[in-house]
Amino acid sequence: MARTLPKKGSNKLLNAWAFYDWANSVYSLVISSAIFPIFYGALFRVAEIEKVVVFGGEIARAPLISYVTSAAFLFIAIITPVLSGISDYLGNKRLFMKLFCYLGAFSCIGLYWFSLDNIYFSLICYFFGLVGFWVSFAFNNSYLPDVAFPGQQDRISAKGFSLGYAGSVILLLFNLAMVMKPNLFGIETDVTGVAEIKAMRYSFLSVGIWWIGFAQYTFYFLPKGFKREGERKHIVLNGFRELKGVWHQLGAHKN
């Protein structure tokens, strides 16, 4: 028997949409802003080096991670319009959102094994963590007109931001407690590494698990998507065409 999804504008559907911020905002705070930058620098300090060999050449730690970040955002800028056009015309937006949610979350889990000795795998995990976060977030935002009527959109969008801040702060406080007081959590310095760095690795695991676990509530209630009417041609380019249309619309909104 097919499950009946909540109707557009219903509190159940609106809350499920907003709750994705609770699920994925832990990435932006715990990894991007707080824990990972400290962890990344600590790896180089512990190894007593400032450069690492990548693709046959030496590169300093700061430019290296900046280049990977830039490459990730360039990749996001290229694929997001393509994927949005494909998902709109196939009517399977939720599948794409799930795919990138899991890509980002498992990449966060992969950061547990981030090391200078295995730098290529490490940077790939960092790269796809960024990609998974931003692309899944873009798909979630694209659901807003599907789940909320115009008069509801500001309120539920603000609720999503609030849930995102609340959820990410809760997990960050837990992870900071692990890093600052690792002994309280049974984390000790041994041959496998420094206690504080090991605690940071555990925080990456917690982000991935949190993200996947809480996203299930959103996925359970969100609709699969809506197929575009009429003949479906130029599927790959339609996302760029819509982006161009939005750009022209901005000219009418000077503020």
The count of C-alpha atoms lying within 13 angstroms of the C-alpha of 249, restricted to the half-sphere facing its C-beta, is: 6
**Is the whole-model pTM more than 0.85?**
yes
From the number of C-beta atoms within 10 Å of its C-beta (0-12, 13-18, 19+), residue 76 rates as: middle
Write out pLDDT tens, residues 31-88.
999 999 999 999 999 888 888 888 888 899 889 999 999 999 999 998 888 887 777 6
Q: How far apart are CA 251 and CA 240, in angstroms?
A: 18
Residue 244's CB is within 10 A of a number of other CB atoms, namely 11
Residues 243-254: pLDDT tens digits?
666 666 677 777
Residue 40 CB neighbours (<10 A)? 19
Q: Which domains does the chain have, with CATH numbers?
A: 21-240 (1.20.1250.20)
CA–CA gap between residue 177 and residue 172 (Å, rounded): 8
User: What is the maximum alpha-carbon separation in the chain?
Assistant: 64
For the record, the structure tokens of 23 come out as 């699920």
DSSP β-bridge partners for residue 57: 54
| Angle subtended at Cα 122 by Cα 210 and Cα 118, rounded to the nearest 5 degrees | 135
Q: Cα separation of 136 and 138, whole Å?
A: 5
Q: How far apart are CA 198 and CA 182, in angstroms?
A: 9
Question: What is the reported pLDDT for 251?
Answer: 73
